[in-house]
Amino acid sequence: MTARSRDRRVYTASHPVLFGLLTATRRRPLQRLGSRVVVNGHDELRAVLTDVPLDRTDDRTTGGAIRKHEGEGALFDESGTQHRASRRALAERLDSRGVAALRPVWRPVLDDAVDLLRAGGELDVCRLADEVSGRTTAALLDLDLTPGECRELARAARRTASSAAAAEVPSWRRTPYRDHLADAFGGRVDPLGKMLALAAINTTFATLPRAVAWVADEGWWADAGDEARRPVLVSELLRVLAPTPLLPRVTAAPATVGGHEVTPDDQLLLMVRHAVDAHRRDPSVDDPAPAAVSRLVFGAGPHACPGAGLARAQLDDVLAALAVLAPRVVRARPDRHAALPAWRELVVAVPR
Could you tell me what percent of the chain has a pLDDT over 90?
64
Average pLDDT over residues 191-195: 79
Which range (2-16, 29-43, 111-125, 165-179) has the least confidence?
165-179
pLDDT at 303: 77
Report the chain's C-alpha Rg in angstroms: 19
Average pLDDT over residues 114-129: 98
Residue 93 or residue 250, greater confidence: 250
Indicate if the pLDDT at residue 216 is higher than 90.
yes
User: Can you tell me the distance from the alpha carbon of 246 to that of 260, in angstroms, rounded to the nearest whole number?
Assistant: 20
Locate the domains of the chain by residue range.
3-349
Which amino acid, 51? Answer: D
pLDDT at 194: 82
pLDDT at 187: 67
Query: Residues 6 or more apart from 142 whose CB is under 8 A from it?
Result: none
Three-state secondary structure readout of 270-333: EEHHHHCCCCCCCCCCCCCCCHHHHHHHHCCHHHCCCCHHHHHHHHHHHHHHHHCCCCEEEEEE
Indicate if the pLDDT at residue 63 is higher than 60.
yes
User: Can you tell me the distance from the alpha carbon of 91 to that of 117, in angstroms, rounded to the nearest whole number?
Assistant: 35
Average pLDDT over residues 35-42: 93
Residue 143: band (very low, low, confident or very high) from pLDDT cuts 50, 70, 90: very high
Residue 326 or residue 16, greater confidence: 326
Number of Cβ within 10 Å of residue 145's Cβ equals 18
Could you tell me what percent of the chain has a pLDDT over 70?
89
Residue 189 or residue 86, greater confidence: 189
Which tens digit of pLDDT belongs to each residue from 64-81? 666 655 555 555 555 556
- For the domain made up of 3-349, give the CATH fold: Cytochrome p450 (1.10.630)
What mean pLDDT is reported for the chain? 88
pLDDT at 169: 56
pLDDT at 17: 75
Which tens digit of pLDDT belongs to each residue from 233-285? 999 999 999 999 988 899 999 999 989 999 998 999 999 999 999 999 999 99
Indicate if the pLDDT at residue 33 is higher than 70.
yes
